[in-house]
Amino acid sequence: MMPAEFDVTGKVVFITGAGRGIGKGIAQVLAEAGADIALNALTPKYVEGTAADIASASGRRVVPVIADVTKADEVRRAIDTVLATFGRIDVLVNALGDSIRKPLVALPGKEGTDVSDDDLRFIMDINLTEALLCTRAVGPHMLARRSGKIINIASWTAHQGGRDMVLYTTAKTALAGFTRAQALEWAPYHVHVNAIAPGIFPDIVTSGAAHVQQSTLRAEQSVPLKRPGRLREVGLLALYLASDASDYMTGQTLLLDGGLGL
């Protein structure tokens, strides 16, 4: 029998970047554990099918919410839609993210490979700005209720930089700092803010079979546990952070990387 503290039956969860990848893995586990889910994505391409599949498998209410959560007006609209649909938001999961592999400045002999202005804006917006905007939008609701859980998806690179990943590392490190600061600010109101820092978690839908194979080989060579992570494993840690079991934890960024950052 599952401990009562892990029961999230009836909780309402809003997850950004949830059509595939880590966001989808989190949604599957939380729905399985009894939560109702609002799945966000920029387009309906993946998220509508994902929502239908999770609803069918779990028996929970799962709805897609199409919005660009790097834009403040669309974030407000998305949060209003979720509140109108479900009546409340108990958990916000800021799972949207992406990376590019480029040096900040082209290295000698590799001219033309450096970061552009568009690259800079994109990586900061999709990894950091969206979390700030979504947290700001849901904040008044959670503060008024004196209850809420916010889960940011950071990265192991927030603890150990990666070659050709300056922008991504910077954004995810800032996200970990945001997690600490926001947790301190909202702790008196019983709103908990934590983060998960995944290591290598390839997704065939996101990256394709060739990339998954490449990531698996890299994990077997570099990860102490000799394998990549499974998307469900991020979901299981998110379940802990979304549930009453984590009520004495806030401001933490939890590494889930098979020992990669050791």
Q: Is 111 helix (H, G, I), strand (E, B) or coil?
A: coil
The larger pLDDT score, comparing residue 146 to residue 120, is at 146
Q: Is 66 helix (H, G, I), strand (E, B) or coil?
A: strand
Structure token pair of residue 226? 């000799």
pLDDT tier at 112 (50, 70, 90 boundaries)? low
Tokens 């007006």 locate to 73
Q: Is 194 helix (H, G, I), strand (E, B) or coil?
A: strand
pLDDT tens-place string over residues 160-208: 877 778 899 999 999 999 999 999 999 999 999 999 999 988 877 766 7
Known catalytic residues? Answer: 168
pLDDT of residue 90: 98
What is 4-256's CATH topology?
Rossmann fold (3.40.50)
